Amino acid sequence: MDIFVKCFVIYIRPILEYGTIVFLKEQIKLLEGVQKSFLFRCYKKFNYPYISYFDCLRDHNLESLEYRRLLSDLVFMYKTLVSQEIAIAHNLFIVPFHHNHLRRHPYYISCTLKNASKLSA
């Protein structure tokens, strides 16, 4: 079963998760469902007791899509702001210049987009 899981991680998951930074919640649920379904079918094929999805992830040293997306988002932000490997044409984030008197690190950012749920109608 470990060979099936390794093949899934090496060959299938990178194709499915390419560009997950821009995915919507519905698409994320579908992608997580693919991995969940794969693990369930592997457990069923090899007659292992399937307890829960997160127990299967822990047994095979896998991470959930949510965790992997968090890491990729952090790497994307680092490449955009610190190392400047990625250039964004739109000014989505503002790096305040008055951060010296605040007790923050120099990479403190704020987003120019407003949260629609906080706006009053």
State pLDDT tens for residues 27-44: 888 888 999 999 999 999
Question: Does 75 score more than 50 pLDDT?
Answer: yes
Unique residue bearing structure tokens 């120099």: 106
> What is the reported pLDDT for 120?
47
The one-character DSSP state at 90 is: S
* Residue 35 covered by a domain: yes
* Residue 118 covered by a domain: no
> What is the reported pLDDT for 117?
56
Tally the domains of the chain: 1
Domain holding 13, by residue range, is: 2-111
User: Would you say 102 and 85 are in contact if contact means Cβ atoms under 8 Å apart?
Assistant: no
> What is the reported pLDDT for 44?
93
* Residue 116 covered by a domain: no
pTM given for the model? 0.65
Show the CA angle centred on residue 26, arms to residues 21 and 28, nearest 5°.
40
User: Which of 113, 15, 111 has its CA nearest to residue 35?
Assistant: 15
Percentage, residues of the chain above pLDDT 90: 30
* Residue 37 covered by a domain: yes
> What is the reported pLDDT for 106?
64
